[in-house]
Amino acid sequence: MAVRDPAMTDVARLAGVSHQTVSRVLNGHPNVREQTRLRVQAAIAELGYRPNRAARALVTGRSQVIGVVAQNTTLYGPASLLAALEQTAAESGFAVSVGSVRDLDHRSISAVVERHLAHRVAGIVVIAPVESAGEALERLPKDVPLVTVDGDPHRPMPLVTVDQAAGARAATQHLLDAGHRTVWHVSGPSDWFDSAGRIEGWREALTSAGAEIPPLVPADWSAAAGYRCGQMLARMPDVTAVFTANDHLALGVLRALHEHGRRVPDDISVVGFDDVPEAAYFIPPLTTVRPDFGAVARASLEMLLTQIESVSGGALRETIAPTLVARRSVAPPPRR
């Protein structure tokens, strides 16, 4: 009778941990205690366990390549996520094949997924931050290992996302803590989940503080849209604090306020979101919210590899908390 090779579950049983913890150790995840890591490594050595994905590829017909579906965009968030996914996959021994689409609709996503499947990818990651991607993802084959990033939080699909609402709450609360009576919000596009989450967090923070909720100022993600909104806000003397849905919007708002003689932060405080590399060099340096794209990429890959390894019971949802980065664009409101 042939003796089977040790599996990940055998390592977990011997080490006294979950299979998810074994997966984290194998993938170099930082959120594992050193004592636990050493125990898992000792169990791997004792059992002679080898995560032989190459052999699995021969059985399943899948390769050491992960397929990614992403919108063809230069926006900082999606572009940063894609770069982090490529780096994290490489560290785990996988190559990445990127299929870019102009629109995240059913036809475009299905076409790219079919191309990935034709090349026998091990699994697929879809960066799906807009509403139009939801229906397309639900209609994909159910036996394909798949994780969505920044996708629809209301659909029952494996999802890793930045906690947009928590970031917006932190930004809004930071302005309230500085003494502002309320905070205006320049939002992103209405069909983006990132935008919806940031609106939700902004409203929650104001409601919890018992502050008035001003009208939403809708925009897109561009500095030009921020400039147009800033032109309006600059003419409103009661506006003392603005939270923008990303840093490019903040850049446009800063330009408009400067042209109207409204000083930042002396007259108006401004907080952005994303912490683009240039944010520290805005005038003044911008207070903003920093998403951890590296953590999103690691969690996405770990969730996908759990599916590839056919390990049941893995997490179907993981939310990554962002961090407020305080610089010099926030101050107490001016005295009237």
Could you report the per-residue pLDDT of 201-252, keeping only the tens digit for each?
Answer: 999 999 999 999 999 999 999 999 999 999 999 999 999 999 999 999 999 9
Return the CA Rg of the chain.
23
24 has pLDDT over 90: no
Question: What three-state secondary structure class fits 123?
Answer: strand
* Torsions phi, psi for 20 (to 5 deg): -65, -40
User: Can you tell me the mean pLDDT for 282-308?
Assistant: 93
Q: Tens of pLDDT along 153-209? A: 888 889 999 999 999 999 999 999 999 999 999 999 999 999 999 999 999 999 999
Q: Please measure the distance between the N-terminal and C-terminal CA atoms of the chain and give it in whole angstroms.
A: 87
| Cα–Cα dist 1/152, whole Å | 49
**pLDDT tens string 248-275:** 999 999 999 999 999 999 999 999 999 9
Distances (CA, A) of 275 to 58, 95, 104, 179: 43, 28, 25, 23
**Domains of the chain and CATH, by start:** 8-51 (1.10.260.40), 60-162+293-321 (3.40.50.2300), 164-291 (3.40.50.2300)
Instruction: Name residue 97's beta-bridge partners.
Output: 67
**Residue 257: exposed, middle, or buried by beta-carbon count in 10 A (0-12, 13-18, 19+)?**
buried
CA dist 229 and 221 (Å) reads 12
Tokens coding 31: 């959120």
Helices (H), 178-278: 193-209, 223-234, 247-259
With CA atoms as reference, report the closest residue to 254 among 162, 196, 336, 327. Answer: 327
Output the pTM of the full model: 0.80
Indicate the SS3 state at residue 12: helix
- The pLDDT of residue 235 is 97
| 3-state SS class at 38 | helix
Is the model's pLDDT at 59 over the cut of 60? Answer: no
> Rounded to whole angstroms, how far apart are CA atoms 208 and 92?
43
CB atoms closer than 10 angstroms to residue 274 = 28
